[in-house]
Homo-oligomer: A and B are copies of this chain.
Amino acid sequence: MENMEEVQSKHTWMHVVQYYETDAMQIVHHSNYIRWMEEVRLDYLSKVGLAYDSMEAHGIIIPVLSASCEYKTATRYGETVKIMAEMERFDGLRFYVTYRITSEDGSVLHATGRTSHCFLNRDMKPVNVKKAAPEIYDFFRHFKK
C-alpha cells in the first residue's frame, strides 16, 4: 500500500523581486510570474530527485504544454515573494502543477497559476515515461488520479 505522505507534493521558493523585472507601470511585468512558476517548479523537481540534468541523462525533456496566471495584487521592486507549487495530478501522460504567489509572510495573495507538462524524448516525440524511465514514473505515479 502506498504511503502518500512520503512523497513531497508541495514546494516553496522565495524570490527577491528585481528592478529589471519591473515595467513602466512601476510594478512587476506580468510575464515574470510565468518565470517565477518555473523557478519553483524546477527547484521542486530537483528536490524530489528529478533535476533537469538527471532528466536529460534519461533523454527526457519536460516542456510546458500550457500556462495560466490570475493576477490579484501587483508586486513591486523591493518586495520578496513566496511561490508555492503543488503537484495537482498526473494522468499517465501529462502532469499538472498549481501555484500560489504571495507576499513573503503569506498575508497578501499576488497571483495563482497552473501549468501542464508532458514528457518528450530528444526528438520532441511523446514518451511513455512508465516504460522509458521507470525511476521518473515512480515519482509521478503517486499523483495518478
A residues engaging B (CB < 8 A)?
A: 18-20, 22-27, 29-32, 34-35, 38-39, 42, 51-53, 61, 63-71, 74, 76-78, 124
Contact = CB atoms under 8 A, between A and B. Distances in A.
A25 B22 CA distance: 9
Contact of A78 (B22, B31, B35, B51): B51
A74 B124 contact: yes
Contact of A31 (B35, B51, B66): B35
A13 to B, nearest CB: 9
Given A52-B78, A53-B77, 16 more contacts: A20-B31, A20-B35, A20-B38, A25-B61, A27-B63, A30-B67, A31-B32, A31-B38, A34-B34, A34-B67, A52-B77, A66-B69, A66-B70, A66-B71, A67-B69, A68-B69
Sorted nearest first, the 3 A-B pairs with minimum C-beta distance are A68-B68, A22-B24, A24-B26
Main secondary structure of the interface of A (DSSP, over half): mixed
A24 to B, nearest CB: 4
Contacts of A34: 30-31, 34, 67
Contacts of A31: 20, 31-32, 34-35, 38
Contacts of A24: 19, 22-24, 26-27, 76-77
Contacts of A61: 25
A39 B25 CA distance: 16
